[in-house]
Structure 1
Amino acid sequence: MLHTIESINSVINDFIWGVPAMICIIGVGLYLSIRTRFLQIRKFGYAIQTTIGRMFRKKEASDGALTPFQAVCTALAATVGTGNIAGVAGAIAIGGPGAVFWMWISAILGMCTKFFEVTLAVHFRERNAEGDLVGGPMYYIKNGLGKNWRWLAYLFAGFGVLTVFGTGNATQVNTITTAIDSALLNYHVISTDTVPVMNWIIGIAITFLVGLILLGGVKRIGQVTERLVPFMAVLYIVLALGVVVFHFQNIPAVFASIFEGAFHPSAVTGGVIGSFFLSMKKGVSRGIFSNEAGLGTGSIAHACADTRKPVKQGLFGIFEVFADTIVICTLTALVILCSGVSVPYGEAAGAELTIAGFTATYGNWVSVFTAVAMCCFAFSTILGWGLYGARCIEFLFDAKVIKPFMVAYSLVAILGATVELGLLWSIAETFNGLMAIPNLIAVFLLSGTVVKMTKEYFAGEGKDS
């Protein structure tokens, strides 16, 4: 029975994260980019100036809402995760250095897709029975497309609930336990015999912390993520930049391998990886998996922002994909490729390859800092996806189910810390990809609304070019 489930899920997963689905996601991104005359490039400077400028303004959000900065931090909390460390390493190992180039292409188009998602989420949001601002794909489908499309909204929310326990929680906790165990074993603080006990302790501690934060509501989630996300991002960026600086002489050769490998992988990998399509597939799929552009999930957090200008909040979508993929994922790639560590081309690889890049530069002591960074990345993902799951289950049922959901979601951390998660991870990844289908349909059908709002916004700002 288990083997049958694995086989069925494998076929669905290969399709969802395969070429047809990627063509749909990239195709919609290209269509939206053309409709806005590549807004993400034309207005990139304005978007960065507007978003970063607003980040440092001290502002209290109204009841049931987040400040724009808290909203983007909550969205980044969910997107900047272990995929930025392990996912990029896997893409390079299977697709070669050229996968990084295709990851950039998916990010450039993804900036526009996420801009549309965030703008729609803020425009079509509503207040729930508790007075909180709620929005996201299920709401812009319901309020933007009308009653005949409500089934699509329920489909998205259903996939969302099925995804959060695996992708958002259990697999992230498993990453935390692995990182902590590795660091403690490395310094002989614990033995292999005591690892199971340590994992139970970690699982219980995470359950308590996650429950404490999530049950505090959207305000508390925003307060934690606005502190945790900048800390973890700066810590990782500083460590990664250090590796690049130490090996600066390798930078020209690395970028040459990325561009050459994008079109001629065998020339860079010594013939181990010869497929141009494999390089493209791995780069695009990992880029999408990391920044979630096309999945619609990040817009759920942005819908909570205390703002009256949907387009202005939409600019945070551009910033979010840029920060996640162009900055953090690229730095991970440079850590691996600049450090000179041996890349097992054609074989599966994960976080251990990225960590090898750090330790080859700094020594074994840096494993403590990489463990801290991985724990922060994973924990922040748990919080972000907790909010997504709460909004999805509330849409399906009622606001009364939110607290029981939060309790159940928190308890899953113990499961994630203590059991093998191979099949659970694969199933969750499938449902995660399935969320893209109803979202992309809605974004495509509602694209005219965003185009109109965008023109009006820039005409009013006097910034259009």
Structure 2
Amino acid sequence: MEKIDAFLAEASRLAWGMPLLILLMGGGLFLMLYCRLIPFRMMRHSLSILQGKYQDPNAAGQITPFQAMASALASTIGMGNISGVAVGIAMGGPGVLFWMWVSAFVGMATKFFTCTLSIMYRGRNELGAIEGGPMYMVTEGLGKKWKPLSILFAFAGLFGTLPLFQANQLTQIITDVVLKPSGMVGEDTFISNLFMGMAMALLVSIILFGGLKRIAAVATKLVPLMVVLYTGSVLYIIFSNITAIPSMFALIFEDAFTGNAVMGGAVMQVIIMGARRASFSNEAGIGTAAMMHGESQNNEPVREGLVAMWEPFIDTIVVCTMTGLAILVTGVWETNSGNGVTMTAQAFGVAMPQIGKYLLVICVFIFAFTSLFSYCYYGSKCFTYLFGFKYRRLYDYFYILTIIIGAIVTITSVINLVDTAFALMAIPTMTCALLLSPRVMAASKDYLARLKAGQIQQF
């Protein structure tokens, strides 16, 4: 196991080197400037789209743009917001939050481009049904000769969308908050983790085998609930320590450019950690959201991009920031061992001694399960692209099995595996977005001209 841990750690380090940082953050910055801040200038119109004012009931696709965004948020607003932020602060210090913000702002432009392309260049699977995602964006937009990039994305997506992290952290918080304090388990938690993994696998399978529409329906109901419950709890912690907020922001900005808090002055490592945690959290530039938005009932590609751009803002600027502030103002980041969700649980416990940890258990349960639904859909799309529909059920069974595996392995192995896969997924996604960016801009100018002329129909 130690050799596997070492191999995954080295793979993650190599994958998240300077070239990928330039591709993700530099590429996102280029797209933001190239589009002349369209995602920010069109926010009011994008809200009208989300309200359904421009929803064409006869458009191709399986789900509405709002359902696509809710389903994408079901995977992004998840354990990355609760555990990922804690891991980032523990490993990189408070300055990680600043670089997560930077990644999120450029990620809004990245999502605008990638999800616009997911509608512009949809393909058809072997059954003749419309499909979207980076696999099809590459082959339909760049041509068949670029198919190796599609294969790379789909192969990496098989591992990047496994439920290991969600299962691991849900098991961890139930053990730390419920089982150990009650004396139900001791230090050896293998058996209890195994049974929890099996229980999670059973619950998830009930939803998964219902298909995309059931996943979207569940996500649409649970995402607003989990956002309200979690944000309400975190805002209570923040306002209970409101006098400490200015100094915490000062600490974040100072550490972002010094790296002194944890990294001993290694600023570049703080930047890389911020980019890694932001990518894991909001998935901008990774390509998972493009798979979901590619299924949206929308014949206007730019409109889909304007919907998708909200995801990094909601996920990272809002939810991750609140988690980070809750951890910082309670001081647990200075004393905790940094085992992901355990740190966040301690912050909730310090701020709300009687019920804090139990509220977090409920939030983690909802966050983890909504992520599990969406991730299986992403992974199955990658699998069927590579191997066809004949063996699709085999992937579903494998996915459910990895829920059990995730419950019993170490958090470091899980993070390094997922980070490596996400890095590989970003290569084809960002390459496609950058090479096809002129076509997105042409479509944007056309759409904005028609909108200004009153030619865009409301329904």
When normalised by structure 1's length, the TM-score is 0.89
Instruction: Call closer, same or farther: CA 1:93–1:344 in 2, change over 3 Å.
Output: farther
Deviates more, 1:9-18 or 1:446-455: 9-18
CA distance in 2, matches of 1:61, 1:424: 42
Q: Which amino acid aligns with 1:243?
A: I
Gaps of 5+ in 2: 455-459
Pick from 417, 425, 429: which aligns with 1:435?
Answer: 425
Give yes or no for the alignment of 1:455 onto 2:445: yes
CA-to-aligned-CA distance 1:345-378 (integer Å, 9 cap, x gap):
9x75522222222111111422111111112222
Aligned to 2:174: 180
CA distance in 2, matches of 1:235, 1:52: 22
CA distance in 1, matches of 2:452, 2:200: 49
The equivalences for 1:16-415 within 5 A come to 16-47=15-46, 49-54=47-52, 65-128=62-125, 132-164=129-161, 168-185=162-179, 188=182, 190-192=184-186, 195-266=189-260, 269=261, 273-341=264-332, 343-344=334-335, 348-415=338-405
CA shift for structure 1 position 428: 3.5
Deviates more, 1:67-76 or 1:15-24: 15-24
Taking only the aligned residue pairs, the percentage that are identical comes to 36
Q: Which amino acid aligns with 2:447?
A: Y
**Conserved 8 A contact 2:152-2:424:** no
CA-to-aligned-CA distance 1:79-125 (integer Å, 9 cap, x gap):
12212112212322333322212111111001100111111111211
TM-align CA RMSD = 2.7
CA distance in 2, matches of 1:440, 1:303: 16
CA shift for structure 1 position 51: 4.9
CA distance in 2, matches of 1:385, 1:61: 28
CA shift for structure 1 position 284: 2.4
CA distance in 1, matches of 2:2, 2:200: 31
CA-to-aligned-CA distance 1:99-155 (integer Å, 9 cap, x gap):
212111111001100111111111211344556542100001111111111121112
Instruction: Call closer, same or farther: CA 1:37–1:427 in 2, change over 3 Å.
Output: same
CA distance in 2, matches of 1:278, 1:417: 29
**Conserved 8 A contact 2:59-2:298:** no
**Conserved 8 A contact 1:96-1:273:** no
**Conserved 8 A contact 2:154-2:383:** yes
Q: Which amino acid aligns with 1:414?
A: I
**Conserved 8 A contact 1:65-1:219:** yes
**Conserved 8 A contact 1:15-1:21:** no
CA distance in 2, matches of 1:134, 1:315: 20
**Conserved 8 A contact 1:63-1:132:** no
When normalised by structure 2's length, the TM-score is 0.90
